[in-house]
């Protein structure tokens, strides 16, 4: 009797399972293509995210190097007698140091460029210093 009841329950269960699986078997090629395309899009999105994270890391690392270079150049300018009293502003982007401000002589401007160019990590120096007789010397 138990076996008869089990069969009564098993047959409808199997039929229901087959009925629910029929749409899977009936998928056409366009559904397969759509699923493949969706998978590719997810893979590309993951790749783009990884690239973006790498770019952020690289950009942050470069920014830290630039800040370090700027600090070293400022210290060298401050410690040098020819440039110490001058009003020189320093900025660094991807290893390129830009000097702006006013100095009292062409020699001071040249010395500032020399100090900056000999600082570790500097690729080049853009010397935009202006020589003025009213340059700050306090």
Asked if residue 125 has pLDDT above 80, the reply is yes
6 within some domain: no
Q: Render pLDDT for 61-116 as a digit per residue (tens, 0 to 9).
A: 778 898 999 999 999 999 999 998 888 999 999 999 999 999 999 999 999 999 99
List the CATH number of the domain containing 101. Answer: 3.30.300
Q: Which residue, among 89, 116, 113, 92, has the nearest Cα to 101 in the 3D structure?
A: 89
118 within some domain: yes
Averaged pLDDT of the chain: 78
d(CA 118, CA 129): 17
pLDDT confidence of residue 55:
66
4 within some domain: no
Say which residues have a Cβ less than 8 Å from residue 93's Cβ, sequence separation at least 6: 66
53 within some domain: yes
Mean pLDDT along residues 54-66: 75
Range of the domain at 33: 29-131
Number of domains in the chain: 1
96 within some domain: yes
102 within some domain: yes
């Amino acid at each position: 009797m138990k076996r008869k009841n089990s069969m009564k329950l098993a047959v409808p269960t199997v039929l229901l399972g087959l009925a629910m699986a029929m749409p899977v078997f009936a998928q056409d090629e366009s559904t397969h293509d759509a699923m493949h395309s969706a998978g590719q899009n997810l893979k590309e999105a993951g790749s783009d995210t990884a690239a973006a994270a790498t770019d952020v890391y690289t950009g942050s690392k470069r920014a830290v190097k630039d800040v370090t270079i700027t600090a070293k150049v400022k210290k060298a300018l401050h410690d040098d007698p020819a440039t110490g009293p001058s009003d020189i502003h320093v900025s660094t982007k991807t290893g390129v140091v830009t000097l702006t401000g006013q100095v009292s002589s062409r020699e001071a401007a040249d010395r500032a460029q020399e100090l900056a160019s000999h600082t570790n990590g500097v690729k080049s120096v853009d010397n935009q210093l202006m020589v003025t007789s009213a340059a700050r010397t306090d």
